[in-house]
Chains A and B, each alone.
Chain A
Amino acid sequence: MDSPFGLLAELTYRCPLACAYCSNPLNMEDYTDELGTDEWRRVLVEARDLGVLQCHLSGGEPLLRRDLEEIVAGAHEAGMYTNLVTSALGLSRRRADRLRAAGLDHVQVSIQADEPAVSDTIAGTPSFHRKIEAMGVVKELGWPLTLNVVLHRQNIDHVADLLALAEEVGADRVELANTQYYGWALRNRAALLPSRAQLAAAETVVRAARERLRDRMDVVYVIPDYYSRYPKPCMGGWASRQLTVTPNGDVLPCPAAQSLPLPRAGVREHPLSWIWAESPVMTAFRGTDWMPDPCRSCERRELDFGGCRCQAFQLTGDAARTDPVCHLSPDHAVVDQVVRAANEEARPADALLVPRPHRAGRP
């Protein structure tokens, strides 16, 4: 068993945005009993002792936690590199100064599109201009800035303009990641999955930009795995490099794993070290012993680890099957069918999206 490198701390699922591709769970009401400040600080020390070196503070919107500064300070004091993943709504100059003083190392700001009207429509709230302003604050305080953009059918044709925006705000990194289909994104899949022609055009733009910006900006591009021949090496292997703690203290190998029928293990009941080493949610798919064929006998089993367990469960009802994205999977037809539909000429470019609610019980 390896030591984990990264902790994804999901501080709350409350969010001022309502993006239809959100990967947060659909059952948000199960997560309203959030861990308190002292509980988080204890978890961070336990994570450090387990070997965690990077702490990603996310949600929902982590700035909605009034104690975010104290949580950042806890991670910083534990020697971790701290990374805030935010919509930037609520990142005033005053708040930013306090986070800087608490030891925050890196800020990632999401943007929904390259221009205000589309961005605000997808976010479900006027936010574009506030985000740009907050990015200025991030740069002013000397933080490295990553711009996060989720790509999908309705904005992927603007990838050149999105890259230009990243340059304009002075981003050090830009992550252009096609939607992966979990949570609310799975519900909206038909409206979000781009066509093959859209992807090809975007990739040409990204390749040229990488070359041009090589000395100034890291351009990370993630394709939608539905279009790849082999599955993604999900999380670098189940419970191998990363762990997630959800707002109510559940510990998971990845945030989507809450959807799997595995017994829960929470930091309120157990030490993190026990959960990582021994809880069924962590051991269920660790290593390669659980694999069925074709993974079991595949020479790529240590490269992609059978793909994503959550995706296998969502698409086949069995988390222990080969990720259907793989062309060798006996279930590959379910992915094929969705991809074929996305490439039909009659498919509209701007089908209606179902937004996620801002918080539990208040759509």
Chain B
Amino acid sequence: MDPTRNGPVRNGSTRDRPAPDGSAPDRSAGEVRVRHSDRPRLARHVRLSYSGTRQRHILLLPETVVVLNDSGAGILALCDGRRTVAEIAAELGTRYRRVPDDPVLDGEVRRFLARLVTRRCVELLDGSELPDGREHVDG
């Protein structure tokens, strides 16, 4: 076996080290800005799943497990590449009975998504493009 694998070896890296809420990006990428018009979706190769043992939703991707809390799982369940960040925040606002356009909730959603974009768990489609490549025409 190649000794970068597992073993006592790769412990220096981030393998399977869960971040309880998707925090602590392990890459020193620059600031990611998430706009209201962005349409987030799970990155290719990332799977949203559920661990019965832990009773938590989880993200699975190469060499990484992210254990999600309930609000994180709630956000990701709406990241379908069609809804905008603004629509996701609004939908969650209704669900959690927040006032319309609650700036705290809005900030939470955008920060959470920014962290996952940095870790390449989430991709942002530009507001003007739909996932199938068609241009989005307003109005």
Query: How far, in whole Å, are A56 and B120 apart by their CA atoms in the complex?
Result: 21
**Do B51 and A51 have beta carbons less than 8 Å apart?**
yes
Q: Is the CB of A81 within 8 A of B11?
A: no
Rounded to whole angstroms, the CA-CA distance of A308 and B11 in the bound complex is: 10
Q: What is the bound-complex CA distance between A185 and B1, given in angstroms?
A: 11
User: Which residues from chain B contact A85 at a C-beta distance below 8 Å?
Assistant: 1-2, 5
Interface string of B1-34 (1 = CB under 8 A from A): 1111111111111111110000000011110000
Q: How far does the Cβ of A233 sit from chain B's closest Cβ, in whole Å?
A: 6
Contact A148 to B4, CB < 8 A, known contacts A5-B16, A175-B13, A242-B16 = yes
Among B3, B11, B14, B17, the residue within 8 A (CB) of A183 is B3
Interface check A241, CB cutoff 8 A: yes
Of B9, B29, B51, most buried by chain A (CB within 10 Å of CB) is: B9
Is the CB–CB distance between B60 and A51 below 8 Å? no
A21 and B53 contact, CB distance less than 8 A: no
CB-defined contacts of B54 to chain A, threshold 8 Å: 3, 51
Partner of A24, one of B1, B27, B28: B1
Contacts of B18 in A (CB 8 A): 5
Contact with A218, one of B16, B27, B58 (Cβ below 8 angstroms) = B27
Contact A150 B2 (CB under 8 A): yes
Give residues of chain A (126-171) contacting chain B, Cβ–Cβ below 8 Å.
Answer: 144, 146, 148-150
Nearest CB of chain A from residue B15's CB, rounded to whole Å: 7
Judge whether A210 and B28 touch: CB under 8 Å.
yes
The chain A residue with its CB closest to the CB of B28 is: A210
Residue among B2, B8, B14, B28 with the highest chain A CB neighbour number at 10 A: B2
A83 CA / B10 CA spacing, docked (Å): 15
Say how far A203's CB is from chain B's closest CB, in angstroms: 13
Among A51, A210, A244, the residue within 8 A (CB) of B6 is A244
